[in-house]
Amino acid sequence: MESVSLFAPASIANISCGFDVLGLCLDNVGDLMHLEKSNKPGFRITEIKGQDLPLETEKNVAGVAAQALLKAYKEPVGFKLKIDKRIKAGSGIGSSAASAAGAVVGINKLLGEPFSPLELISFAMEGERLACGSAHADNVAPVILGGFTLVRSLEPLDVIPLHSPLELAATVIHPEIEVKTADARAVLHNKIPLKKAINQWANVGALVSGLYQEDYDLISRSLVDEIVEPARAMLIPGFDQLKENATQAGALGCGISGSGPSVFALSKGMTNAHLVAKSMAEVYDKIGVPYEIHICPINPNGVQFIEPKNK
């Protein structure tokens, strides 16, 4: 095999109560990537369409993740990458994670799959380190494994794939404003009152149980964030109203996607997810914030190989 084309999906990290540990993979929004073997050892990005991002290997998350893989592979091999960037960087739906995960899954395929999914997550995390300063896995894990994932530990890396009910559907509204990950981190408090911590880990446990039992009421009761959302909500225009409208329209829960500014809602079934989308759009139509909306089931596959279109 000399080349592969792939779809590298967007993802939602945190999912209300699961700050830095839970993530899920989206289905209809993602980057397209084309990887080719090259006679020249090393990794090069030859083209990025759709967005103004650096081609230099060491400045692009895809390049940094690929270098981590090549370092572990040890033999001299060469690859070229073209990216059609469809996820806006800094949108809070794992733009950097998609590039990092797509690059390492694609190279692994071309090498005959010498690395395990967990190793691929660890390489992709190096890309995340470039994007936000720390090597977190809550976006790259669902992009590589598909579905819902829980990062139990970073050192040693321990990632648990979770059951994802088939009917669960996501709505994501992306207000076209910038929230810097650094700012979103800066508003967080370093100390958490014990009472809130107890509620939070009770909700994480209950959410995981709700996913396995396909108990949508339990999922709904558990989609609560007492720690991060109250601090970050002010960074997102109309957040309280979005949540209010989504809930009124039947969403199981609604919260901040990653570090924002995107806001997600989960619903039972695509019909509800569409109603929720409409109710959220009304908020931004009214206050005049430009936005885009994604509505999709949870993607059980993660990165997917596709027929090459425009190499």
The answer to the question of residue 60 lying near ligand ADP (CB under 6 A) is yes
Q: Which residues contact 278 (CB under 8 A, 6 or more apart)?
A: 249
The catalytic residue among 36, 126, 128, 229 is 128
* 126 or 279: CB nearest ligand ADP: 126
**Residue 61 and residue 101: Cα distance in Å, rounded?**
9
Please say if 128 is a catalytic residue.
Answer: yes
Q: In what order do the strands lie in the sheet with 263-268?
A: 253-256, 263-268, 168-175, 291-297
H helices then E strands: how many in the chain?
Answer: 10, 11
* 95 or 108: CB nearest ligand ADP: 95
Binding residue (CB under 6 A) for ligand ADP from 57, 73, 78, 89: 89
Q: Which residues contact 205 (CB under 8 A, 6 or more apart)?
A: none
Whole-number Cα distances in Å, 67 to 3, 14, 127, 146, 293: 18, 27, 9, 23, 34
**Residue 277 and residue 265: Cα distance in Å, rounded?**
9
Which segment (87-95, 148-156, 216-224, 228-236) binds ligand ADP by CB under 6 A?
A: 87-95
The catalytic residue among 57, 119, 167, 181 is 181
Binding residue (CB under 6 A) for ligand ADP from 14, 91, 108, 164: 91
Binding residue (CB under 6 A) for ligand ADP from 94, 106, 147, 238: 94
The answer to the question of residue 261 lying near ligand ADP (CB under 6 A) is no
Binding residue (CB under 6 A) for ligand ADP from 111, 132, 162, 289: 132
Contact 9, 26 (CB under 8 A): yes
305 C-beta neighbours (distance < 10 Å), count: 13
Please say if 247 is a catalytic residue.
Answer: no
* 26 or 61: CB nearest ligand ADP: 61
Which segment (58-66, 106-114, 225-233, 271-279) binds ligand ADP by CB under 6 A?
A: 58-66
**Residue 88 and residue 260: Cα distance in Å, rounded?**
12
User: What is the DSSP code (8-state) at residue 229?
Assistant: H
* 40 or 185: CB nearest ligand ADP: 185
* 140 or 218: CB nearest ligand ADP: 140
Q: What is the 3-state secondary structure (H, E, C) of 34-101?
A: EEEEECCCEEEEEEEECCCCCCCHHHCHHHHHHHHHHHHHCCCCEEEEEEECCCCCCCCCCHHHHHHH
The answer to the question of residue 23 lying near ligand ADP (CB under 6 A) is no
Least spacing, CB of residue 121 vs ligand ADP, in Å: 15
Return the structure tokens found at 32: 């397209």
The answer to the question of residue 131 lying near ligand ADP (CB under 6 A) is yes
Which segment (57-65, 141-149, 232-240, 274-282) binds ligand ADP by CB under 6 A?
A: 57-65
Least spacing, CB of residue 34 vs ligand ADP, in Å: 14
Binding site for ligand ADP (CB under 6 A): 53, 60-62, 89-97, 99, 131-132, 181, 258
Catalytic positions, written as ranges: 128, 181
